[in-house]
Amino acid sequence: MSGTQYKMEKCPTGIHGFDQITEGGLPKNGTTLVSGSAGSGKTLLGIEFLIRGAVDYREPGIFLTFEETEEELYKAVASLNLDLKGLVSRKKIIIEHVVLEQNDIRESDFNLEGIFIRLEKAIDLIGAKRIVIDSIESLFAGITDIGILRLEIKRLFRWLKIKQVTALITGEQAQTAYTHHGLEEYVSDCIIFLDNRVREQVSVRRIRIIKYRGSNHGTNEYPFVIDKNGLSVIPITSDGLNQPGTRKRVSTGIPSLDMMFEGGGYTRGSTVLISGTAGTGKTSLAAYPSGG
């Protein structure tokens, strides 16, 4: 008797193309780490994840930030068709801006309880299902002891899982790891890497799924763009390959040649390569008046 096959539950992001390469979205009630350099689009990805959740899936969300204020976040999306301010005013999204004082981040006095209390209050207030934490470096900036750091990161991720929220946490790319701490990647359910390259004065944005525990996913680098509608991922490995074929034909203009194509000529909409050595008539054949 075969056992019951486990299927991971997904949380759709609503971001164009992204749910396609992740085969459904982020791990529901799990933790996803979004890594990248400054300006790669990490914060915007988190904001759109919350906005699409509130608008398209009726899942309220919380944005916990340690650096940008509420007004600064509004300015960041001002040029986009993303109504962050409206959703905040209707209590579909809560922005929690936490200012960490030096005493708050000292290793000897470090305690996550204050963060947990604020998040729990916000979760209960709007029934939040999604949380974005921007960024993990800011939260654990004062901890240098690897043992303490490991325990506190695990504690944070475990608390988020207990609260049954789908969490997205941003982190700055380091030289040898996906964050400066280098530990989050081992306890994250999913890791997404964003890259913004400039070559020959042309900026190209790329996204890659580094890890997705318990799920299949696209393994390539995929280009993505940021325009007035937010993020759009272009899954080029499958994009446009699901179009149905056609039986319509276009005559070559040469009846005997048409017969070689099952009596109808070229397939409409197809691309035909005519190959041959010099003087074999390639140009003449291509220029021959067709019946299409």
Q: Which CATH class is domain 10-233?
A: alpha beta
What pLDDT does residue 12 have? Answer: 97
Digit-coded pLDDT (tens) for 65-114 = 998 999 999 998 988 889 999 999 999 999 999 887 655 555 556 678 88
Q: Which segments in the chain show pLDDT lower than 70?
A: 1-6, 101-110, 176, 180-183, 236-245, 263, 290-292
Digit-coded pLDDT (tens) for 167-185 = 999 988 877 677 766 667 7
Amino acid, res. 60: P
What's the whole-model pTM score? 0.77
Residue whose pair of structure tokens reads 């004082």 in the numeric block: 101
What pLDDT does residue 201 have? Answer: 77
Got the DSSP string for 116-184? HHHHHHHHHHHT--EEEEE-HHHHTTT---HHHHHHHHHHHHHHHHHTT-EEEEEEE--SSSSSSS--H
Q: Contact, 23 vs 238, CB < 8 A?
A: no
Q: Contact, 26 vs 168, CB < 8 A?
A: yes
Helix, strand, coil fractions of the chain, as percent rounded to 5: 30, 25, 45
Locate the domains of the chain by residue range. Answer: 10-233, 249-287
Nearest to 207 by CA among 215, 217, 256, 227: 217
Q: Contact, 251 vs 265, CB < 8 A?
A: yes
Extended strands (E) in 22-92: 26-27, 31-36, 61-65
Q: Contact, 21 vs 208, CB < 8 A?
A: no
What pLDDT does residue 102 have? Answer: 57
Residues 6+ apart with CB under 8 A from 292: 250, 251, 265, 266, 268
